[in-house]
Amino acid sequence: MSAQTPFQHEVATLIVETLNLEDVAPDAIAPQDGLFDGELALDSVDALELALAVSQRYTVQLKAEERSTREAFSTLESLAAFIEAHRGAAPEAAVG
């Protein structure tokens, strides 16, 4: 198991907070573990909630019908890479 990058940790924190995973620490999500078929065992409702959170925080447009979007949600590593590649050109200040 490799360590998370700082951005992967940020995305892992978003996953834990968005999905209210009280028994999961962001550090415990390994970059290469499957999000849907691994320890987290996320489902389609989780995917929708997570996609909305990613879209809002990083201004990334996710289209369920696109293969690249489905592949991006396979692991923490792939999701973080997808966000970094597609995030909005002008980062917005966090609203909270």
Section 72-96 average pLDDT: 77
Is residue 75 helix, strand or coil? strand
All structural domains of the chain, each given as residue ranges with its CATH number in brackets, are 6-20+34-86 (1.10.1200)
pLDDT at 95 > cutoff 50: no
Question: Global pTM?
Answer: 0.85
Q: What is the pLDDT of residue 1?
A: 53
Q: What percent of the chain has pLDDT over 90?
A: 61
Output the average pLDDT for the chain: 87
Rg (C-alpha) for the chain, rounded Å, is: 12
Q: What is the pLDDT of residue 62?
A: 79
